Amino acid sequence: MTALLAIPPKPRVLCVDDEPGVLEGLMFTLRRKFDVLTATSGAKGLELLAQERSVAVVISDMRMPEMDGAAFLARARVVAPHASRLLLTGHADLPAAITAVNEGQLFRFLQKPTPAPMLLSVVEAATEQNRLLTAEKELLEQTLQGCLKTLTDVLSFTAPHAFGRASRVKRILSRLLDSTGVTERWRCEIAALVAPLGAVTLSDELTTKVHERVPLTAAEEKLVAAVPQVTEQLLANIPRLEGVRRLLTLSAMPLTAEQVARDALGREALLLRAATELERRLATTTSPDEACALLLAKEPALQELASALVAAARAEKGEVHDIGLAALRVGMVFVEDVRLNSGGLLVPRGFAVTASFLERCRNYQEGVIRVPLRVLSGTG
């Protein structure tokens, strides 16, 4: 029996107008080819956009009470940046519509009344633009993540202390992103992974001193302080990482409430700094709650993340199991440094096991790696 081909879902379109009759007309015209959502105000439209991340096209009337179409579409761009935006306008609103197109990066504006064939044609073109933007975004994210994952995987063996810390920061950050509902997370997670790239310029002796929190000389402190600048220089050679570089810069600066509320980058910078500081606190105390209390006392701006920080800290200090080398699996996280029986460091605590690390372990003769290995429960 021949299997039925799956029917692809219709592109989703959101129509916003304060007149129910106009919405009914738009739905009647579009419903055969599109999955149509409607809202009778800009505020309700923004709520729907936040809930329905698959919206490909947003259509709004210009004249609406409280929030006009230009203002709504400008805010819609922040909530759903890859959705194509169309503005419906009357002749009297033409100058404002032109301004909205130029300043708000709208796909197009249409004068009312718009003939049904023209509306369908424009919405089809808008969905195609959304498809291309989404495909480019996914390709960019996957390519960058793959390249940077390979880079950090290799560098984890050349600067294991720094990259062990980076993997802990990324793990904490991922939990914070989960709890705060952030969906555009690739920039944050890449920033956490590449933050210590500059540490490859430090000597093994100095990185060990930093890891073990041994007091540094003035010259050593200067070298460590230069790591972010070296990281910036390395990342400058990789196209399309401007946002990651800006995020790393912002996360090292004091952030105002306005910066955090104004755009996604400010919010991401706050989360990255929270994860970075929490990792540092957890390294010096055995109590997750105490680590969070110390962090919040120093960083009042993180108070709104208090419950998420506590949950992430408790997960990071989860139950520990001792296992043999044969039981090691990809994704497991070491809670103690993994050393050779000769005393040499293989990887530091916090390192998340990768496929390449398992392959590397197989290249050692039996008895060379010190066991048992201590890993967090729930990993692997």
DSSP string spanning 305-317? GHHHHHHHHHHHT
Nearest to 341 by CA among 300, 369, 318, 316: 369
Percent of the chain with pLDDT over 90: 26
- In this model, does residue 12 exceed pLDDT 90? yes
Contact between residue 140 and residue 240 where contact means Cβ atoms under 8 Å apart:
yes
Out of 168-182, 256-270, 289-303, least confident range = 256-270
Residue 24 pLDDT: 93
Contact between residue 281 and residue 291 where contact means Cβ atoms under 8 Å apart:
yes
> Token match 């998340």: residue?
352
Residue 266 pLDDT: 82
12-133, superfamily in CATH? Response regulator (3.40.50.2300)
Contact between residue 105 and residue 86 where contact means Cβ atoms under 8 Å apart:
no
- 345, containing H or E segment: strand 345-347
- In this model, does residue 8 exceed pLDDT 80? no
Residue 379 pLDDT: 52
Q: What is the mean pLDDT of residues 209-224?
A: 87
Average pLDDT of the residues of the chain:
84
Q: What is the mean pLDDT of residues 173-186?
A: 82
Residue 378 pLDDT: 53
Residue 101 pLDDT: 67
- The token duo for 336 is 């103690």
- In this model, does residue 2 exceed pLDDT 80? no
User: What is the distance between the alpha carbons of residues 347 and 325, in angstroms, rounded to a whole number?
Assistant: 14
Q: How confident is the model at residue 377 (pLDDT cuts 50, 70, 90)?
A: low
181 to each of 176, 265, 278, how far by Cα in Å? 9, 15, 19
- In this model, does residue 324 exceed pLDDT 50? yes
Contact between residue 193 and residue 174 where contact means Cβ atoms under 8 Å apart:
no
- Please report which residue ranges of 239-372 form alpha helices under DSSP H: 242-251, 257-262, 264-282, 288-298, 306-316, 355-362
pTM of whole model > 0.75? Answer: no
pLDDT digits (tens, 9 = 90+) for 27-86: 999 999 999 999 999 999 999 998 888 899 999 998 898 888 888 988 888 888 889 999
> Token match 């993540």: residue?
145
Domains 12-133 and 159-317 share a fold: no
User: What is the distance between the alpha carbons of residues 189 and 146, in angstroms, rounded to a whole number?
Assistant: 12
Nearest to 113 by CA among 13, 32, 21: 21
Q: Which residue has the higher pLDDT, 326 or 7?
A: 326
Q: Which residue has the higher pLDDT, 278 or 180?
A: 278
Cross-strand partners of 322: 374
3-state secondary structure of 241: coil
179 to each of 80, 129, 176, 203, 280, how far by Cα in Å? 20, 32, 5, 38, 20
Q: Was domain 159-317 assigned CATH 1.10.3210.10?
A: yes
Residue 259 pLDDT: 64
pLDDT digits (tens, 9 = 90+) for 117-167: 999 999 999 999 888 888 877 776 677 667 767 776 766 777 777 777 888
Domain residue spans of the chain: 12-133, 159-317, 319-380
User: What is the distance between the alpha carbons of residues 223 and 354, in angstroms, rounded to a whole number?
Assistant: 30
- In this model, does residue 6 exceed pLDDT 80? no
Residue 100 pLDDT: 67
pLDDT digits (tens, 9 = 90+) for 329-348: 887 888 888 999 998 888 88
User: What is the distance between the alpha carbons of residues 207 and 159, in angstroms, rounded to a whole number?
Assistant: 8
Percent of the chain with pLDDT over 70: 88
Q: What is the mean pLDDT of residues 212-239?
A: 86
pLDDT digits (tens, 9 = 90+) for 247-292: 898 888 776 666 666 677 888 888 998 999 998 888 887 788 999 9
Q: How confident is the model at residue 301 (pLDDT cuts 50, 70, 90)?
A: confident
